[in-house]
């Protein structure tokens, strides 16, 4: 999985694209394969040091994607994308 992270507050140059392990959902959870992310002014606040962030932050609080159900509890969901 690729993600854009800001490990420290600062200008846009603190943003970096990183490769992360694919998330493993806990029982009763799903993974969302994100297709589109919208970044707004509120997403810049942790990077600018004007809002608290527990560790690295990833801009883009509005996301669109397909759910990827896993396990028997999620069998009723119909995945659109995930293999």
pTM of the model: 0.58
Burial classification of residue 74, based on how many CB atoms lie within 10 Å of its CB (0-12 exposed, 13-18 middle, 19 or more buried): middle
- pLDDT surpassing 80 at residue 17: yes
pLDDT 10s digits, 20-73: 998 887 777 777 888 888 777 777 777 666 766 655 566 676 777 777 766 666
Residue 13, pLDDT score = 86
- pLDDT surpassing 90 at residue 19: yes
Residue 72, pLDDT score = 61
């Amino acid at each position: 999985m690729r993600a854009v992270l800001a490990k420290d507050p600062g200008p846009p140059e603190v943003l970096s694209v990183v490769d992360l392990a694919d998330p493993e959902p806990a029982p009763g959870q799903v993974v969302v394969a994100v297709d589109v992310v919208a970044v707004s002014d509120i997403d810049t606040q942790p990077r600018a040091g004007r809002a608290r962030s527990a560790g690295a932050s990833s801009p883009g609080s509005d996301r669109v994607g397909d759910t990827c159900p896993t396990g028997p509890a999620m069998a009723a969901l119909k995945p659109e994308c995930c293999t």
